[in-house]
Structure 1
Amino acid sequence: MIEAVTFWNEPNNKSHWDMEVDPEWRLYADMVRRAAQAVEAERPGVLRVLGGISPIDPGFMRRLQDFRATENLHAVAVHGFPLDWNLWQIHEWRDKIAEIEAVTHLPVWVTEVGVSSFGAEEVQDFGLRRTAELLLGRVDRIHWYSLYDLPRAWEATTRHKEAEGSSYYRHFYMGLLREDGTPKLALRQFSEYTPELGICQWFHFEDHRLDSAVQWLRRLGVRRLRTGLSWADYLRPGSDKWFDRMMQALDGFDLTVTFCFTPECKGIRPHHTSPPLDANEYADFCALMMRRYA
């Protein structure tokens, strides 16, 4: 049921990769090469994809290719949120795809695209419709972010938290469903674009929304789902039980699984954004997940 794997999430974003430790991304490139080889050895039929980049930066893509990070991959991925965080407009989406296509021979996937309802639900409703118009048929995979709003009791994965002002709080309004599970305006049109349009939904450790999410995904006609398996969570007590339950619940979807988040005890710095002390341990985790779930 695992169709594809992506190696990390937004490696050129300070909120997801420690650029002070790895300013040239040499460590990231080496980690991806090792992980791709490990996944290929275990399950050669599973597609291997570069973790979605944000911002969309052709220069960054060229650098990774110079470091041979993409030589054993099937696709590269990008993330874009032009109505919330990016410094370009939504109608430029196709141009942004073309910028990456110009510097790589690999297909370009959009593994996260979304619009918050922070200002108004009507903005999200428009953004979904316009995104579908621009991207469906233009790229092979599109994953809308996300199904659920992030609960306000949790933290968004950003570097400066509340100091980012409204940019931070937009993270909590990206869902088609509110935190309490009630639908927003954009939900009513989403099934018009499935199954071609997929969804990205991250599940936290022992996430209480798992079963209801599966029900909604099926109701909406979603076939392609992107989610994550956290290396850091794998070291928690009971991780096998939780991972098994999550993956069993998601049986029947075409899954793109992202492997990310360094355990504090495994990082050059004790933080989930840190490059690992030993890139082979990340590759071993990827291989283990392939044996268990692919």
Structure 2
Amino acid sequence: MIEAVKIWNEPNNKSHWDPNLDPEWSLFANMTCLAGQAIGEANPDVTRVLGGMSPIDPGFLRRLEARGVMEAVDVVAVHGFPLDWNLWSIDEWPAKVGEIRAVVDKPVWVTEVGVSAFGSEEVQAWGVKKTADLLIGQAPRIFWYSLYDLPQAWGATTRHKEAEGSSYYRHFHMGLLREDGSPKAALEAYRPYAADMGLCQWFHYHDHRLDEAVGIMRDLGVRHVRTGISWADSFREGALEWFDRQMEALAPFDTTVTFCFTPEHRGVEPHHTSPPQVAEEYAQFCADMVSRYAPRRAAPALPVEVSEEAA
């Protein structure tokens, strides 16, 4: 079932939102407020999560709070990859979560955390255990990124790609499984923590790994899964059929679904990182998806009191 909806992904990372088009964050704040309101109207029981900050930045959060965003969400999410991309030690994880708790009166979730096997599979396996020891008990939801390595042929969602050097190539080695599905040492390192540390796995459009992934996650004992439904993909032929299949397959898990990526023809500029031309369209997409995959439950009928005179 869907337990939470995440509004965008890593908004303060220029690979997912173009700050040159929104230097004061007013467009993002307005879009988030509208989406949060629309999700709440579609189903008030669905938890609304502010897209995971990367980097973790209390100042960014204060800017959004000043624009009313905190009233539109229930949870604040952070992402961190200290052994690969962040300039801080893995031992600082509890302090990083604490930095956000200090500035906002909301639960803090860690919706992406991981270690690549780019340099060493043994380091990745150690990183699983170290991360679990540091974060379990610190955040109500933790999602390890990811189950599968990103296939080399697909390319990573980042602006400068190969020009980033090893920072780019690390994107392809974050999985507990290799691209071909064979296990790394990190898979068994993860297994003891599966009930407490969920998995984040983005499924591409008509992803051939979906059914296999569900079987592996059930075998591991995973309870919480994070994935995405792409607003851009919603304009493809047969999009709803694919979304239906994906969400039906993930029904055994408590799922957090991220709504992200601007359709090129709906952006201020034709790019998935662009603010939308009309923020209400993104909000409507969020509401439509929640109504389809997490419909509001009808209130139970109240018993009818019969007076003694009527009896």
TM-score bin (small chain): over 0.9
Deviations 1:134-167 (A, max 9, x none): 0001110000000000001111000101000000
Q: TM-score, normalization: structure 1?
A: 0.99
Q: Is the 8 A contact 2:32 2:72 kept in 1?
A: no
- How far apart, CA to CA, are the structure 2 residues paired with 1:166 and 1:22? 29
Q: Is the 8 A contact 2:74 2:106 kept in 1?
A: yes
Matches within 5 A, 1:1-294: 1-294=1-294
- How far apart, CA to CA, are the structure 1 residues paired with 2:142 and 2:26? 28
What is the alpha-carbon root mean square deviation over aligned residues?
0.6
- How far apart, CA to CA, are the structure 2 residues paired with 1:123 and 1:24? 39
- How far apart, CA to CA, are the structure 2 residues paired with 1:251 and 1:57? 33
- How far apart, CA to CA, are the structure 1 residues paired with 2:291 and 2:243? 13
Specify the code of the residue in structure 2 equivalent to 1:50. Answer: L
Instruction: Find runs of 4+ consecutive structure 1 residues off by over 6 angstroms.
Output: none
Specify the code of the residue in structure 2 equivalent to 1:255. Answer: T
- How far apart, CA to CA, are the structure 2 residues paired with 1:171 and 1:191? 22
Stretch moving more, 189-198 or 258-267:
189-198
- How far apart, CA to CA, are the structure 2 residues paired with 1:130 and 1:24? 37
Deviations 1:239-260 (A, max 9, x none): 0111111111111100000000
- How far apart, CA to CA, are the structure 1 residues paired with 2:72 and 2:277? 23
Secondary structure of the residue aligned to 1:70 is helix
Shift in Å, 1:72? 2.3
Shift in Å, 1:170? 0.1
Q: Is the 8 A contact 2:225 2:255 kept in 1?
A: yes
Specify the code of the residue in structure 2 equivalent to 1:31. Answer: M
Q: Is the 8 A contact 2:194 2:222 kept in 1?
A: yes
- How far apart, CA to CA, are the structure 2 residues paired with 1:42 and 1:276? 21
Deviations 1:160-196 (A, max 9, x none): 0100000000000000000000000010121201211
Q: Please, which runs of 5 or more residues in structure 1 have no aligned partner?
A: none
- How far apart, CA to CA, are the structure 1 residues paired with 2:194 and 2:117? 21
Q: Percent identity?
A: 66
Specify the code of the residue in structure 1 equivalent to 2:99. Answer: E
Deviations 1:60-93 (A, max 9, x none): 0111101111112111000000000000000000
Q: TM-score, normalization: structure 2?
A: 0.94
Specify the code of the residue in structure 1 equivalent to 2:283. Answer: A
Secondary structure of the residue aligned to 2:283 is helix
- How far apart, CA to CA, are the structure 2 residues paired with 1:292 and 1:7? 17
Aligned pair count reads 294
Q: Is the 8 A contact 2:145 2:175 kept in 1?
A: yes
- How far apart, CA to CA, are the structure 1 residues paired with 2:137 and 2:39? 29
- How far apart, CA to CA, are the structure 2 residues paired with 1:53 and 1:159? 17
Q: Please, which runs of 5 or more residues in structure 2 have no aligned partner?
A: 295-311
Specify the code of the residue in structure 2 equivalent to 1:277. Answer: Q
